[in-house]
Structure 1
Amino acid sequence: MNTQLKLLLITLFLSSGVYAQSTEASLIKKLEGFSHPESVVFDVNTNEFYISNMADRKDGDGFISRVSAVGEIIDLKWITGLRDPKGLLVKEETLYVTNNTELVEISIPNESILRRIPVEGAKSLNDITVDETGNIFISDSGKSAIYLMPGKALDLVIPEAKEGEIIEYLNSKRLEYVNGLFAQDKQLYAAAWGENENGNFLKIDIDTREITKISKNRIGNLDGIQPAGQEAFYLSDWASGKIYLAGKNGDLTEVLTSEKSAGDIFFDTNENQLILPMNHQNAVWWYQLK
């Protein structure tokens, strides 16, 4: 085989699957001072991170922190008065927060809560994601369900859906008490916590709501999910602290092991870093991927 052909085959192999992504990492920073942090998200407009703090899960003691792009706390208690805040989503100038059984909308420029939207029937809202048409999906780990807040482009075949309202989109034990969610290419990719056993890496067809198991074997109490290109995702296992690279073909590679309680992780594509909210450690840890 000539050298040119060999390089072409290597390039095609690397670009086609899970092994094109980083599978090694080193701990480079621990930022302390939080109160049971759960989720990390980055706002490209402000060049800052927002971090949800569950605190002691008492009414009003939860809060959102602002952290600089280089990992320094700007305002520990930027937004207060929450209860058990978890998932975070930045959409234009609004920060959406899942807050126990309600969705909270926060104006980023005004640094204030715009409105609180009760979610009927919710038990424990968790992660939140938005698809390419503006539909917002929310996982409910307490009842193995997913909720939907339709965007302006109501392309989903749901007669009862109205823009700005939240309805139950899918309720099934086959969701395995879904935790992490990420919308990509007409699919919802899900990290499942599991019930009385480890959870799987799943996908849900947004139009048909068909649930498919991607992982070949059960993985763990899965929490966070972040895309690593088009063919793979980083998954966090809350119970073991392990971070995996999971291919859409079911391949699984361990990237690193932190400690128990690694939550809703964030993958910084610009810096090639994984950022882990460590719930029990009251800290956020930065890992540099190699």
Structure 2
Amino acid sequence: MKKICVLLFVGLIPFVSFSQKITKVWESDSIFLKPESALYDSSKKIIYISNINGEYLAKDGNGFISKIKINGEIEILKWVDGLDNPQGMGLYKNKLYVADINRVVQINTNTARIEKIYKVDSAKFFNDITSDTNGDMYISDCFDNKIYKISDGKIKVWFESEVLSKPNGLLCNKEDVLVLNMKTQNAFAINKLTKKSHQIFNGIDNLDGIVSDGENGYIVSGAWQGQLFHIDSDGNKKLIIDLGKEKIITADIEYIIKQNLLIIPTLNKTVIGYQWIK
């Protein structure tokens, strides 16, 4: 694998938005190929980026995973390739799980080798993955209104309900699985034990990624309109980034809490880093 270290620095460009301090600190060179999701590996201090590299839902083998540093340098463009339509990712220890249409691909992060594939023939579009502290993985099937779970080496449907309406982004906290619904523009918390659910916010179009803000709130993306919102503990939302005028998509984001660093895959050719101070 060829190592590529390229970076286009844009300097510290302030982005003034709604009393939040937002600073664009870097933008990658334009060599990604439909970067969809970002996930930080704190043990390796590296960010994984999934690249669709082709038509959506095409089983073409063109998809791949990149590795970048937290300063935006691309360490390896095609770290793991041969995927079809890689979307959201989950991480537990040295295992990276990637949603890939109707399968979840398990990658050893030490060897960059695919160790296992969890295939579900009836699944329509695995979109996002979130990991629990015990290593269980939850996977949204956006086109079939289901959430799957990988536990003890097996994958099966975990949650199916009218609460789900094109479920996309997922996030685990101590008690709940949080799910973003693209169709109904709202988000629900589903208790992991009882599976009872309640709405946590609504009114955001094209919901895609959700990450913790490191406290009691969340950051979510409205992908196609290029927006990021902060959701506080009471479910109140505040727009913190709006890239719509620049026609930049904000896909499945990541937030590195210690660096106050937001990572935005653009579904085009770049990944952008913003420092966000609450």
TM-score band by shorter chain is 0.7 to 0.9
Percent of paired sites with the same residue: 31
1:107 maps to a residue whose letter is N
Higher helix share: 1
Structure showing greater Rg: 1
3-state SS of paired residue (2:111): coil
CA distance in 2, matches of 1:28, 1:45: 23
CA distance in 1, matches of 2:116, 2:150: 14
CA distance in 2, matches of 1:183, 1:120: 26
1:208 counterpart = 2:194: yes
1:255 counterpart = 2:256: no
Q: TM-score, normalised by structure 1?
A: 0.83
Asked whether the equivalents of residues 214 and 257 of structure 2 are also in contact (C-alpha less than 8 Å), the reply is: no
CA distance in 2, matches of 1:80, 1:147: 24
Shift of 1:112: 1.1
Query: Which residue matches 2:53?
Result: 55
1:231 counterpart = 2:216: yes
Q: Deviations over 1:131-163 (max 9, x none)?
A: 23322101111112100112xxxxxxxxxxxx1
1:79 maps to a residue whose letter is V
Q: Deviations over 1:48-75 (max 9, x none)?
A: 1110001114420000011122211111
Question: 1:267 and 1:148, CA in 2 relative to 1: closer, same or farther beyond 3 A?
Answer: same
Q: TM-score, normalised by structure 2?
A: 0.86
Query: Which residue matches 2:175?
Result: 186
3-state SS of paired residue (2:163): helix
* Structure 2, unaligned runs of 5 or more: 1-18
3-state SS of paired residue (1:270): helix
Asked whether the equivalents of residues 131 and 186 of structure 1 are also in contact (C-alpha less than 8 Å), the reply is: no
Asked whether the equivalents of residues 175 and 211 of structure 1 are also in contact (C-alpha less than 8 Å), the reply is: no
1:78 counterpart = 2:79: yes
Query: Which residue matches 1:288?
Result: 275
User: Which residue of 226, 233, 240 maps to 2:225?
Assistant: 240
Shift of 1:120: 4.0
3-state SS of paired residue (2:258): coil
1:238 maps to a residue whose letter is A
Query: Which residue matches 1:27?
Result: 24
Query: Which residue matches 2:3?
Result: none
Query: Which residue matches 1:174?
Result: 163
Please report the RMSD computed on the Cα atoms of aligned residues, expressed in angstroms.
1.5
1:73 maps to a residue whose letter is I
3-state SS of paired residue (1:263): coil
Query: Which residue matches 1:13?
Result: none
Shift of 1:201: 2.1
Query: Which residue matches 2:139?
Result: 138
1:268 counterpart = 2:256: yes
Asked whether the equivalents of residues 91 and 131 of structure 2 are also in contact (C-alpha less than 8 Å), the reply is: no
CA distance in 2, matches of 1:148, 1:107: 19
Query: Which residue matches 1:113?
Result: 114
Query: Which residue matches 1:7?
Result: none
Asked whether the equivalents of residues 82 and 99 of structure 1 are also in contact (C-alpha less than 8 Å), the reply is: yes
3-state SS of paired residue (1:114): strand
Shift of 1:212: 1.4
2:179 maps to a residue whose letter is A
Asked whether the equivalents of residues 143 and 171 of structure 1 are also in contact (C-alpha less than 8 Å), the reply is: no
